[in-house]
Structure 1
């Protein structure tokens, strides 16, 4: 991998640009390597000049990295975290409640086992739990 491509991939992988999430994940996987077909993938993109060109090239065609478990795992995890698990603050905002309402529901036992958990000082709650108690996700 040449230095220019490495810089482009590092920039794309950083998540700081205006790129699709798929491009960020692909850049991380391409930088990490270690999958069958990695060299072929790199050879196809070695002449890209910037992140936008990289994104355009990646959006066209089939890639070996898409067969890697890392690709599948990154998207499953990201999708699940964004769509099925919320902090109490996020859930309260979405459902138009206060965080204290959710804390009270937690301590009153309204949530079932595995619907909430505490990570450090942050409470997490599943979408299913919120919809069971507070109704469908409000349209914004």
Structure 2
């Protein structure tokens, strides 16, 4: 069984952490986050683990 708990779309994660929309794509490109380990693409949408966002960017800016 696949659980989607703890997963965020790149756009939701960017909004929640107050990041520019391209920040996560650039982090993936530069190796800060790793495809199929930290994040995964489903169709045209990327999802990232919430734990990775905390690890790389600290606490969210959105309350």
Normalising by the smaller structure, the TM-score range is 0.7 to 0.9
- Secondary structure of the 2:61 match is coil
Aligned with residue 133 of structure 1, among 26, 44, 56: 56
Give the CA RMSD over aligned residues.
Answer: 2.0
Q: Which has the higher helix share?
A: 1
Q: Which has the higher strand share?
A: 2
Q: Give the drift of 1:138.
A: 3.3
**CA distance in structure 1 between the aligned counterparts of 2:28 and 2:62, rounded to whole angstroms:** 24
Aligned twin of 1:94 = 16
For 1:1-140, list aligned pairs within 5 A: 77=3, 80=5, 84-112=6-34, 114-140=37-63
Point out 4+ residue stretches in structure 1 off by more than 3 angstroms.
none
Alignment gaps of 5+ in structure 1? 1-72
Q: Give the drift of 1:115.
A: 0.7
Question: Between Structure 1 and Structure 2, whose CA radius of gyration is higher?
Answer: 1
Alignment gaps of 5+ in structure 2? none
Higher RCO (CA 8 Å, separation ≥ 6 residues): 2
**What's the TM-score, normalizing by structure 1?**
0.40
- Secondary structure of the 1:103 match is helix
- Secondary structure of the 1:129 match is helix
